[in-house]
Structure 1
Amino acid sequence: MDQEERTPWAPERPVYDWKPEYTEESAPTDEELEDSLFGTEDRILTGASFDEYDRIEPSFKDIPQNHKPIKNFGDANFHPTILKNIERMSLKVPTPIQKHAIPLLLDGHDMMACAQTGSGKTVAFLAPILSKLAHHISNDTEETQNRPGARITQVRPQVLIIIPTRELAIQIFDEARRLTYQTRIRPGVIYGGTDVRSQKIQLARGANVLIATPGRLIDTVERGYVGLDGVMCTILDEADRMLERGFAENLRRIFEDLDLNINRHPAFQTVMFSATFPSTMQILAKDILKDDHCCLRIGRIGGTTTDIVQNVYWVEEEGKDEEVANLLMATPPARTVIFVATKVKADYLDDKLFNMEFPCVSIHSGRDQRERENSLEAFRLGRSPILVATAVAARGLDIKDVMHVINYDLSDTIDEYVHRIGRTARAGNKGLASSFYNARNSALAPQLAKLLVECKQDVPEFLSEFVSDDYNNEVTDFVDLDQLNIDGEPPAYEKSDYMNHHNEKRGSNDHFDSNGGYKGNYHDYQSSRDHNNDN
């Protein structure tokens, strides 16, 4: 199978094809599409610590007095097909962010919501907003936006989801394809790095829900391919990143200059979700949220899960190559993401590890979009279980069985660190984060030490001077971490035979034997891995 077949552009991935003659009662299933959307091979299943989420106390601001969280998905007034799709996704019990956000969003509130990485934020905002849209379309006999066969010259979405990275756009599009299966709703996605004309063709099929990166959204609006005057709900995912300098100007243009419906309809809804919300971002957020917006926090803003074992090692710059190889050899085989600071470093380390016979691919903003999508596909399928990445992969990516995150280069901010290590230990599963620290990272030391203490992690001696006796007083709304059980000890940081560790099954079924270990060795993987990362 060639690369074009194996990794189609995300906008070309199939969505449910609603026909004019269908009714909600008679719409047939599409078995092939259903299998691809709801199969468990690539989906993250809940782990042993999933129930611990309920012990994380929520914090509210300006929440209605009659607010009542849901106990199960059936408690929400979901459109019946949306609820059926949630069941097809094997979602049994809502997480705390879902229990509280879903009823508030169904009631139409603007919201700023913060919860730890991997805690179900995407479903928390997608399910209620799509359910409201499904009810609206069901009751609107004049609705034509998603009428099959109609070629439109301008798509006018009712729901707009803006995200900072292309990879996150693709991921949310896939989740929207699942939740809108067998409904009239048609999701679409646009992002940079792809041909504008091909995306225009995809948009001509209609899109009630449009997922977009800011730059490409502005471009398509200015070309007349997209109109924003019909938008009734705007969602900013990874909202803290969206409000940073560089993105903020694009957001201002979208909200103020491009005819977004924010000032013309009282029911317009704006929703902001992220794992981190620095105080400066919260201040900026007030400019685009209604005065009576709700604030919802699960755990501490900027916090992370105790299911991640965090190890920090002192490693000088010149010793990082040797140490990352030693660390890979010392830990059980697993999908591993290695974060570096620059595009040049990503290419360098990718080549270095490849020449050391590690099956790796890399991803950064300098790669064309085809290479980026193919690299992620190879990583997701387990053909190349080691991914070298810049910050482009730090946010929101939800890939099954990522067991280890290595910070070859530590991030500049603690919020970015939280997003990075949040690629592992998702949905109550366990994970490992290993970070290389040296004098260049001293600015991060106080906050890093604080986070380690809050998460009951070992603080290395070189960070001990930054530990304060007051830390415990600053996390009163955190769960009692002493009651959480982290299974096992961190792997010993010493060189051992990487291929002798087969304790658990991790990764793609196609590349593991019955004992859970990688079939063959790294030479076998290299033979199928093009050095230019085309797989």
Structure 2
Amino acid sequence: MAKRSHHVESTDSRPKKKSKSEKHSKSSKKDAPEGNVVSASYEQAPALSAIAQSEIDQFHAQHTIKVTDPLPEALNLRPITSFEYLPACDSDLYGPLKSFKSPTPIQSTTWPLLFAGRDVIGIAETGSGKTLAFGLPCLKKISDSKRSKNPYQPTAVIISPTRELAMQIYDQLVKFAEPAQAGVACVYGGVRKDEQREALKSAAIVVATPGRLKDLQSDGSLSLGKVKYLVLDEADRMLDKGFEQDIKDIIQPMPVSRRQTVMFTATWPRSVRDLAAGFMSSPVTVTIGGDPSADPRANTRIKQEVEVVNHHDKENRLIQILNRSQRGSNSPEKVLVFCLYKKEAMRVERLVKAKGFKVAGIHGDLGQGERFRNLDAFKTGAATVLVATDVAARGLDIPAVKLVVNVTFPLTVEDYVHRIGRTGRAGAEGHAITLFTETDKALSGGLINVLKAAKQEVPEALLKFGTTVKKKQHDAYGAFFKDVDTDKTATKIVFED
């Protein structure tokens, strides 16, 4: 199994760069797959088939699961509601599942579809177990197949928007990868490429951020021509960050007829729908928790408390909250504290440390190594309070975070949803406290909608700021951005003399 870092050998068997004529012939092909050509053998467990349909219907209703399949002739595959219903596997791939009680709803519903070889779009809240939802079928596919022995030719590629999320996916997959005899490599920016190239040499699965993966692809460090399993995780976030063209460039050389494509997203805006239409073959859409939309939705297991406070009282209130959660217990709760800016995070971290709490910090001014060390300290319990900017808001799966405190409200309601999604993960209950001030009032309408959708209490002091939802701004064009229908035919205007 490939490790994160290796000594680089002097021999170089990396794939050579393609000629201009080869690149041209590739780019002239259609992006969209033709037909549902991916195939796989999946036999539903007899014990699962024997369950009364009423129980299956109850499972769907309880978790608000909706499955939309464009192929009417497709089999109606039942959700794998227990690990005992998983398809047979020659290796001990399922061994690490012993630490989990049962599959999450997104895992239960997408697993049979993915084992059957279908393209899948999964829309679910943060902390719903999406990594194993796409990871386990990926590893089984590699375990069951004869993969290429050629170096630098991975069988599976998983793309995520941030290096922190990429590392998290990597850490979870390597626990299952050894029984499947599948090497896993993780590549992201901010570190030397040589060590990553060595890890890519024997990796069957590559977890990567778009920018670094495209760089390695462009300089000939790997070939994606043998990829049979592609995952886009947090696709909405990648498009928000401007990675759409990078994703298209990365996917372009991958085989169409033999590739299975999986996309997970928290929201369902038009940009994500367009991307799915371009690279997926008759995908099944699985929605957990209500109809898909472009609006952010919070995990309903998280108790959300919003306190409207004076700006100067926030830090005193934070210390009161930490005293309540950290003192008088042999095992203090893990608390994740969010600030908006780096200087604010550093000041709050110093304050919390001065009050005697075991604290670590993550923000943009720290080097990658120091960020990883601080995150590991929080995961292991060496630090029970982690002060972070929004660099830690998306995708990070930190076990047993009991409380999230928003000292300063983020710039968007979407970021708020992802911040509080660091608690209440994998079916657990969560708690989030947000300190809201008059400075944040422009975002009150969106926050109120999130609270109401999750059936949370909306304080009267918050309602006084108004319920109007401001138009979402574009990262580049600000408030002047207009999401127009680019497929609509333009109207010709004729000026008379």
Instruction: Indicate the TM-score class for this superposition, using the shorter chain for normalisation.
Output: 0.7 to 0.9
2:287 to 284, 297, 304: 297
Distance (whole Å) between structure 2 residues aligned to residue 466 and residue 10 of structure 1: 52
Name the counterpart of 1:233.
229
Give the letter aligned to residue 306 of structure 1: T
1:159 to 138, 153, 156: 156
Q: Does 1:319 align with 2:313?
A: yes
Name the counterpart of 1:526.
none
5+ residue gaps, structure 1: 1-8, 14-50, 146-151, 469-535
Q: Please show how residues 54-73 of structure 1 align to structure 2 within 5 Å.
A: 55-62=62-69, 64=71, 65-68=74-77, 69-73=79-83
Contact (CA 8 Å) 1:449, 1:467: kept in 2 or not? no
Distance (whole Å) between structure 2 residues aligned to residue 181 and residue 447 of structure 1: 45
Distance (whole Å) between structure 2 residues aligned to residue 285 and residue 415 of structure 1: 20
Q: Please show how residues 25-174 of structure 1 align to structure 2 within 5 Å.
A: 55-62=62-69, 64=71, 65-68=74-77, 69-81=79-91, 83-88=93-98, 90-137=99-146, 143-145=148-150, 152=151, 155-174=152-171
Q: Please show how residues 116-515 of structure 1 align to structure 2 within 5 Å.
A: 116-137=125-146, 143-145=148-150, 152=151, 155-204=152-201, 206-256=202-252, 259=253, 261=254, 264-274=255-265, 276-290=266-280, 292-300=282-290, 301=292, 302-332=296-326, 333-464=332-463
Q: Note the alpha carbon deviations across 1:491-514, whole angstroms, 9 max, x for none.
A: xxxxxxxxxxxxxxxxxxxxxxxx
Name the counterpart of 2:29.
none
Change (3 A) 1:277 1:463: same
Once the two structures are TM-superposed, the CA of residue 84 in structure 1 deviates from its matched residue by: 3.0
Distance (whole Å) between structure 2 residues aligned to residue 144 and residue 156 of structure 1: 8
Distance (whole Å) between structure 1 residues aligned to residue 354 and residue 400 of structure 2: 25
Give the letter aligned to residue 439 of structure 1: E
TM-score normalised by structure 2 residue count: 0.75
Distance (whole Å) between structure 1 residues aligned to residue 220 and residue 181 of structure 2: 24
Distance (whole Å) between structure 1 residues aligned to residue 436 and residue 153 of structure 2: 48
Distance (whole Å) between structure 2 residues aligned to residue 293 and residue 466 of structure 1: 42
Give the letter aligned to residue 289 of structure 1: F
Once the two structures are TM-superposed, the CA of residue 251 in structure 1 deviates from its matched residue by: 1.9
Distance (whole Å) between structure 2 residues aligned to residue 426 and residue 10 of structure 1: 27
Change (3 A) 1:95 1:371: same
Give the letter aligned to residue 247 of structure 1: F
Distance (whole Å) between structure 1 residues aligned to residue 199 and residue 236 of structure 2: 30
Once the two structures are TM-superposed, the CA of residue 389 in structure 1 deviates from its matched residue by: 1.1
Distance (whole Å) between structure 2 residues aligned to residue 440 and residue 271 of structure 1: 40
Distance (whole Å) between structure 1 residues aligned to residue 59 and residue 125 of structure 2: 13
Give the letter aligned to residue 62 of structure 1: D
Distance (whole Å) between structure 1 residues aligned to residue 263 and residue 465 of structure 2: 33
Distance (whole Å) between structure 2 residues aligned to residue 411 and residue 174 of structure 1: 28
Change (3 A) 1:447 1:52: farther
**SS of residue in 2 equivalent to 1:11:** coil
Contact (CA 8 Å) 1:363, 1:372: kept in 2 or not? yes
**SS of residue in 2 equivalent to 1:184:** coil
Q: Note the alpha carbon deviations across 1:148-182, whole angstroms, 9 max, x for none.
A: xxxx4xx1111000111112111111211112122
Once the two structures are TM-superposed, the CA of residue 355 in structure 1 deviates from its matched residue by: 2.9
Contact (CA 8 Å) 1:425, 1:431: kept in 2 or not? yes
5+ residue gaps, structure 2: 7-57, 327-331, 468-497
Give the letter aligned to residue 69 of structure 2: D
Name the counterpart of 1:474.
none
**SS of residue in 2 equivalent to 1:362:** strand
Distance (whole Å) between structure 2 residues aligned to residue 296 and residue 101 of structure 1: 7
TM-score normalised by structure 1 residue count: 0.70
Q: Note the alpha carbon deviations across 1:407-428, whole angstroms, 9 max, x for none.
A: 1122233332221111111222
**SS of residue in 2 equivalent to 1:71:** coil
Contact (CA 8 Å) 2:80, 2:109: kept in 1 or not? yes
**SS of residue in 2 equivalent to 1:312:** strand
**SS of residue in 1 equivalent to 2:166:** helix
Q: Note the alpha carbon deviations across 1:335-358, whole angstroms, 9 max, x for none.
A: 111112222322232223223333
Name the counterpart of 1:532.
none
Q: Note the alpha carbon deviations across 1:55-93, whole angstroms, 9 max, x for none.
A: 2121122255522222323333353325433444x2342
**SS of residue in 1 equivalent to 2:396:** coil
Distance (whole Å) between structure 1 residues aligned to residue 442 and residue 153 of structure 2: 46
Shifted more, 452-461 versus 51-60: the winner is 51-60
Distance (whole Å) between structure 2 residues aligned to residue 331 and residue 236 of structure 1: 37
Contact (CA 8 Å) 2:308, 2:462: kept in 1 or not? no
Change (3 A) 1:466 1:374: same
Contact (CA 8 Å) 1:338, 1:389: kept in 2 or not? yes
Instruction: Kindly tell me the number of residue pairs found equivalent between the two proteins.
Output: 403
Q: Note the alpha carbon deviations across 1:158-214, whole angstroms, 9 max, x for none.
A: 10001111121111112111121223211111112222222223333x100000111
Q: Please show how residues 511-526 of structure 1 align to structure 2 within 5 Å.
A: none
Contact (CA 8 Å) 2:185, 2:196: kept in 1 or not? no
Once the two structures are TM-superposed, the CA of residue 222 in structure 1 deviates from its matched residue by: 2.4
Shifted more, 91-100 versus 347-356: the winner is 347-356
Name the counterpart of 1:477.
none
Kindly report the root-mean-square deviation, in angstroms, between the aligned alpha carbons of the 2 structures. 2.6
Contact (CA 8 Å) 2:185, 2:200: kept in 1 or not? yes
Distance (whole Å) between structure 2 residues aligned to residue 288 and residue 385 of structure 1: 45
Q: Note the alpha carbon deviations across 1:89-133, whole angstroms, 9 max, x for none.
A: x23422211111011112222222112222221111111121112
Q: Note the alpha carbon deviations across 1:350-380, whole angstroms, 9 max, x for none.
A: 2232233332111123321101110101111
Give the letter aligned to residue 282 of structure 1: V
Distance (whole Å) between structure 1 residues aligned to residue 108 and residue 465 of structure 2: 37
Q: Note the alpha carbon deviations across 1:34-74, whole angstroms, 9 max, x for none.
A: xxxxxxxxxxxxxxxxx999821211222555222223233
Give the letter aligned to residue 129 of structure 1: C
Give the letter aligned to residue 118 of structure 1: G
Contact (CA 8 Å) 1:82, 1:131: kept in 2 or not? no
